């Protein structure tokens, strides 16, 4: 009986030792947040800055913001071994309502990562009515305009060429052709953006996704394109080109 007990004790001790050895190779996890912020050529924009016609776009018009909502999807961290972790399938940011400004308490092993995210949905994910919370936010694109969901709704006022204050609605969607007809087609105009060597550690536990709004208007002539842009294929393609430089990850 004593021998059996001794064998059991020894076995337990060996197993315990093995576990300790494994623990020594495990990298420490750290909790971190992802913040989503907006700026106009470096000047921070929050809802406190709404409705002030204070911002000059590349074409020279002064503009304001009254609504700013956008969608970031497939937020992915890829470690140096090439292993990817999708930390959020999609994040809906509503600056006016202070929704989606932060994704909190993500846990990953410390280390350096390539971080990627996408503005808008890919074609595969841009499925009409697939996301009840986005339906509830009236974020849909009508089927006759291609269906799926908006990528961004940026609205406000600007001073036009004759000095009048006019509204604009810069809405980006999957670029569609032949809208309001049964032959409507659409083209993926989501934008993938990436940053490499983003280090997550106890000293760096906040990742910032920044959108420079000025880039959306560089170049852009609001006098020619200020409203009714969802069904304008060429406008959507130009928005896609401008948006390539709108996002950074730090």
* CB 90, CB 99: distance < 8 Å: no
- Which three-class secondary structure state does DSSP give residue 236? helix
104-133 footprint of another protein as x/- string (CB under 8 A)? ------------------------xx--xx
Interaction of residue 221 with another protein, rule CB under 8 A: no
DSSP H helical ranges for 49-177? 132-136
User: Residue 168 interacts with another protein (CB under 8 A)?
Assistant: yes
Instruction: Find the binder of another protein among 66, 208, 221, 248 (CB under 8 A).
Output: 66
For residue 155, state whether it binds another protein (rule: CB under 8 A): yes
Q: Is 180 in the site for another protein (CB under 8 A)?
A: yes
Concatenate the DSSP letters of all residues of 29-43 into one string.
EEEEEEEEEEEETTE
Q: Counting beta carbons within 10 angstroms of the beta carbon of residue 191, is it exposed (0 to 12), middle (13 to 18) or buried (19 or more)? A: buried
Select 105 or 138, whichever has its Cβ closest to another protein.
138
d(Cα 32, Cα 164) in Å, to the nearest integer? 46
135 binds another protein (CB under 8 A): yes
Residue 28 or residue 224: which is nearer to another protein going by CB? 224
Beta strands 206-212 and 29-40 are: parallel
33 versus 88: smaller Cβ distance to another protein: 88
Using alpha carbons, select from 37, 33, 31 the residue that is nearest to residue 248: 37
Burial of residue 184 (CB within 10 Å: 0-12, 13-18, 19+) is: middle
- Beta carbon nearer to another protein, 94 or 187: 94
CB of 19 to another protein, least distance (A): 42
The residues that touch another protein, with contacts defined as CB under 8 A, are 50-51, 66-67, 97, 128-129, 132-133, 135-138, 140, 142-145, 155-157, 165-169, 180, 227-231
């Amino acid at each position: 009986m004593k021998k059996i007990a001794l064998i059991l004790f020894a076995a337990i001790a060996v197993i315990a030792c093995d576990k300790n050895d494994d623990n020594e190779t495990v990298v420490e996890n750290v909790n971190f947040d992802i913040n989503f912020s907006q700026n106009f050529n470096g000047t921070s924009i929050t809802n406190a800055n709404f409705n002030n016609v204070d911002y000059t776009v590349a074409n020279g018009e002064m503009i304001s913001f009254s609504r700013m909502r956008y969608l970031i999807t497939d937020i992915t961290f890829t470690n140096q071994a090439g292993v990817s972790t999708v930390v959020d399938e999609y994040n809906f940011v509503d600056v006016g309502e202070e929704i989606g400004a932060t994704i909190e308490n993500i846990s990953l092993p410390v280390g350096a990562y390539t971080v990627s995210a996408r503005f808008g949905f890919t074609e595969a994910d841009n499925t009409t009515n697939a996301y009840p919370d986005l339906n509830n936010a009236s974020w849909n694109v009508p089927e006759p305009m291609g269906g799926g969901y908006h990528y961004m709704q940026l609205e406000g006022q600007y001073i036009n060429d004759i000095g009048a204050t006019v509204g604009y609605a810069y809405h980006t969607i999957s670029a569609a052709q032949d809208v309001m007809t049964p032959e409507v087609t659409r083209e993926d105009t989501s934008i993938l953006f990436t940053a490499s060597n983003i280090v997550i550690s106890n000293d760096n536990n906040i990742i910032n996704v920044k959108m420079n709004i000025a880039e959306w208007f560089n170049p852009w002539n609001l006098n020619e394109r200020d409203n009714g842009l969802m069904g304008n294929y060429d406008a959507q393609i130009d928005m896609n080109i401008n948006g390539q430089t709108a996002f950074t990850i730090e």
